[in-house]
Structure 1
Amino acid sequence: MLDLPPTIHCNSFLDLNLSTPLLIGLEFSRKPTISPSVDWRYLTDLKIASQWDFDLRPALPYLKGTMSAIVVTDPAQKITWVSKGFTRMTGYEPHETYGKRPGFLQGEKTLPQTRQQIRQHLAAGQPFAGTIVNYRKSGEAYACAIQLFPVYNQARDLVNYIALEEEEPMDLLSI
């Protein structure tokens, strides 16, 4: 440790001749890891508060992946919450998505047939599984495998939709 007088100023270090190097930053010994714990806590709290009759365990891997996400909407299909993975995958921050319908991610290469299938499944109260072309905030298209579930409470009222999403290679789609 340096023993310096209390009146020393920032530029006083310019003339210092140290025998050991001065540490001026932090070094990471390994890559940072993705922690799903905050998102998981939010989802489990939401499940309790809304009395979901829905098993969240299949959602856990979507919180750990680098290009996977979870989206929760209200019954009108307006986004109420997105996981951190959603921001990594799309470039949109949570505040930019709140109150929007997920269709804002769709564009020119999004097939109308896929949109129609999603609408039909939601209207019938059925889960949907498929792949759709979405667009990042940057405008780049990406293939998104979606598992979409209506979420009911214990009284069997529709309270939310939850989408488990994972990016896939675009070459798997025939567009």
Structure 2
Amino acid sequence: MLPSVNARMFRTVLGQFATGVTVITGLDGEERLGLACQAFSSLSLDPPLVLFCPGHTSTSWPRIRRSGSFGVNVLAEDQREVCEAFGSSSGRKFDAVGSRLTPGGTVVLDGVLAWLGCTIEAVHPSGDHDIVVGRVQELRVERPDGPLLYFRGGHDTPAALAPSAR
């Protein structure tokens, strides 16, 4: 018989997989909203689809969902404070970084590596998260630097994770 999978071991094992860090942004009327998210992935090239997985406890996601669209901001290695601000459920998240609206209506944070503007294609409830599929409508690379990574329960840079740095 296989051992049961407990939450702590699940978290430990999946913590061995480094992921990039994004901030999902959107609008509720005129108000800019955002949440930190490392559960993000490309899904399809044709059509261009991405996915992200917000938790059911998120207070920002339901408000972004109502608008029918969202932005994905890929954080740079020097944006740890931005990640921490958007990872919090309290406070004024946009005080941590400037932002702008694209002509297509995507909320883009200053200093990100890249961004995508998407319309919501589908939402699939699954466990304690939703799987959100977005159709990419606009996108751009902003700068050539390295990404902020989430690894073993913390945020780091690619250089810090290199074997010679440990």
Structure 1 length normalisation: TM-score? 0.24
Q: Highest Rg: 1 or 2?
A: 1
Q: Which has the higher strand share?
A: 2
Structure 2 length normalisation: TM-score? 0.25
